[in-house]
Amino acid sequence: MEKQKIAIIIPVFNEKSHISDVLNHLQTLGADEIIAIDGGSQDGTYELIKNEFPAARCYQTAFAERSFQMNLGAFESQS
């Protein structure tokens, strides 16, 4: 039986103050991929993820609509 792959999709918006703790924890869970979808943060969330978490894939959208962010993450997932 083929091992199923797991992707963790995180919609974010102005989460810079605590996203590092979240991503550090998620990296210990053994997921095949972590995808962050930034909804147009103005606090540097997107840049922090791109620079400090190269294993996480990060995409940026113009607006923070959770359902859109989750759907985009699912579309971009390779799992």
| 40-65 pLDDT per residue, tens | 999 999 999 999 999 999 999 998 89
β-strand partners of 38: 12, 60
pTM for the full model?
A: 0.90
Residue 54 CA, distance from chain mean position: 11
Distances (CA, A) of 75 to 28, 42, 68, 79: 24, 24, 10, 10
pLDDT at 79: 62
CA-CA distance, 47 to 57, in Å (whole number)? 12
